[in-house]
Amino acid sequence: MAHTVALGIDIGGSGIKGAPVDLATGEFLQPRLKIATPAESTPAAVARIVDQIADEFTDDLPKDAPIGVTIPGVVQHGVVRTAANIDKSWIDAEGEKIFSDALGRRCLLVNDADAAGVAEQRYGAAKGRQGLVILTTLGTGIGIALLNNGVLIPNCELGHLEVDGHDAETRAASSAKEREGLSYNEWATTRLQPYYTALENLLWPDLFVVGGGVSRKSAKFLPLLHLRTPIVPALLENQAGIVGAAALAADD
Ligand code: BGC
């Protein structure tokens, strides 16, 4: 029987957040729990917190409720392959096994942007959209999800596309805006414009969805961009990782 509820847990640089998700609506069934990411975010330290979050909710969930976890890196068949903005000890760690062992039940591990993209496609800004949808999350790094007719092509790392001789996320992520003290206007015209132009010229998407905390301020920068592709803010904001992790776990 198809699952109606799943637990999603989203590992970020500053917080690890989880909530049970109603898979019909993409809404949280209980308020989310957030615990600070440990300063040394090693696999063992992070697994302890993921276990603590799961413990908070599993008693109220069906015994077979799927559990999905996100991480800000490439995840190939349960193994973490990159760690651009997390502890380097994650590289080649068997993340899915580490979490499944810590929780004593199976978990699915996915890239954070992939989860957010699935959430926006099923419940948010790209709901019902056919063709190629590209979600970009602008945060500490740039995460990308590619979905073609609703089907995810996982681990697309075009946040690291070389643009004007630089790794794009070092110039166009919202962390670069903060670090360099750029105005929305400067950031949009000198950083986002070349980045999105490069993406649309290479991939010819039908829709861009812009996520990450800064998407709340999208009215300050999206109208400044000149693109042939429609570009819209994400709707699920910081819930997208949790919701997408839960949805992908239920598909697994
Ligand atoms: C990582 C991606 C991740 C993104 C957002 C990038 O630096 O390479 O895997 O999705 O940051 O966290």
**Residue 206: pLDDT above 90?**
yes
Which of 102, 184, 170, 173 is closest to 137 using CA atoms? Answer: 173
pLDDT of residue 118: 98
- For 104-108, which contacts have Cβ atoms below 8 Å and span 24 or more sequence positions? 105/67, 106/67, 107/67, 107/68, 107/69, 107/249, 108/66, 108/67, 108/68, 108/69, 108/245, 108/248, 108/249, 108/252
**Per-residue confidence (pLDDT) for residue 131, from 0 to 100:** 98
Q: Which of 16, 80, 110, 111 to mutate to test the pocket of ligand 1 (most atoms within 8 A of CB)?
A: 111
Lining ligand 1 with CB less than 6 A are 72-74, 82, 84-85, 111-113, 137, 141, 143, 157, 159, 169
Cα-to-centroid distance, 138 and ligand 1 (Å): 10
Tokens linked to 75? 């995840």
Of the given ranges (30-34, 58-62, 138-142), which has the lowest mean pLDDT? 58-62
- Residue 128, CA atoms < 13 Å, CB-side half-sphere: 0
Is the pLDDT reported for residue 44 higher than 90? yes
Q: Residue 184 burial by CB count (10 A; 0-12/13-18/19+): exposed, middle or buried?
A: middle
Q: H-type helices in 40-183, by residue range?
A: 43-58, 95-103, 112-123, 168-172, 174-180
Residue 223 DSSP class: G
Task: Output the residue whose Cα is nearest ligand 1's atom 10.
Answer: 143
pLDDT at 2 over 90: no
Query: Rounded to the nearest whole angstrom, what is the distance from the C-alpha of residue 236 to the centroid of ligand 1?
Result: 18
Phi and psi of 228, rounded to 5°? -85, -20
| 3-state class percentages of the chain: helix first, strand second, coil last, to nearest 5 | 40, 25, 35
**pTM value surpassing 0.95:** yes
Closest CA to 194 of 174, 215, 166: 166
Q: Is 225 helix (H, G, I), strand (E, B) or coil?
A: coil
Strand runs labelled E in 12-80? 15-22, 27-28, 33-36, 67-71, 75-76, 79-80
Residue in 106, 92, 95 with CA at minimum distance from that of residue 43: 95
pLDDT at residue number 156: 98
Provide the pLDDT for residue 1: 61
Tell me which of 114, 137, 157, 160 to substitute to probe ligand 1's pocket, judged by most ligand atoms within 8 Å of the beta carbon. 157
Question: Tens digit of pLDDT for each residue in 57-103?
Answer: 999 999 899 999 999 999 999 999 999 888 999 999 999 999 999 99
Q: What span, in angstroms and rounded, lies between the C-alpha atoms of 76 and 79?
A: 5
Please report the atom of ligand 1 found closest to the CA of residue 12: 12
- For residue 59, report the distance from its CA to the centre of ligand 1, in Å: 32
Structure-block tokens of residue 119:
């959430």
